[in-house]
């Protein structure tokens, strides 16, 4: 179960890097801002700095999950060494933050249910797997 949890944490990190890329790098391209429900190019330009900032939040969560996976895996997943505990804790914190962000997204309206499910499913699965593994 621990290996599965690590794999899912890495997949969640990859997803959040993709989200970072869309929000912080590609935001003003029509296929990207349309995916986020932005009305037009002018609105995309207006919200560009907000999206840029939000993208970096996603990147930092991805880095936390990935670093936690590396530490936990390198220490021998399931072990109680300080490195394993740090990696496990970092993965759970990062995945929990990703999941919490998805829950917050749902509270903004029913139209965000699908994006929240995309954003929160991998972190939820990762958390369950990691908790079961311990």
Residue ranges of domains in the chain: 2-133
The whole-number average pLDDT for the span 80-109 is 96
Mean pLDDT of the chain: 95
Split at pLDDT 50, 70, 90, the class of 52 is very high
What confidence tens digit (pLDDT) does each residue in 110-129 have? 999 999 999 999 999 999 99
pLDDT score for 77: 72
Model-level pTM?
A: 0.93
Three-state SS letters, the chain: CHHHHHHHHHHHHHHHHHHHHHHHHCCCCHHHHHHCCCCCHHHHHHCHHHHHHHHHHHHHHHHHHHHHHHHHHHCCCCCCCHHHHHHHHHHHHHHHHHHHHHHHHHCCCHHHHHHHHHHHHHHHHHHHHHHHHC
Split at pLDDT 50, 70, 90, the class of 27 is very high
pLDDT score for 118: 95
pLDDT score for 81: 92
């Amino acid at each position: 179960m621990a290996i599965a949890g690590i794999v899912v944490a890495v997949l969640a990190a990859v997803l959040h890097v993709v989200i970072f890329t869309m929000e912080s790098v590609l935001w003003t391209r029509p296929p990207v801002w349309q995916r986020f429900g932005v009305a037009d190019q002018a609105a995309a330009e207006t919200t560009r700095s907000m999206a840029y900032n939000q993208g970096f939040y996603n990147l930092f969560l991805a880095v936390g999950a990935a670093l936690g996976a590396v530490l936990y895996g390198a220490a021998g997943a399931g072990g109680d060494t300080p490195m394993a505990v740090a990696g496990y804790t970092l993965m759970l914190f990062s995945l929990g933050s990703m999941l919490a962000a998805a829950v917050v997204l749902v509270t903004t309206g029913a139209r965000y249910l699908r994006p929240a499910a995309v954003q929160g499913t991998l972190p939820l699965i990762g958390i369950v797997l990691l908790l079961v593994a311990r």
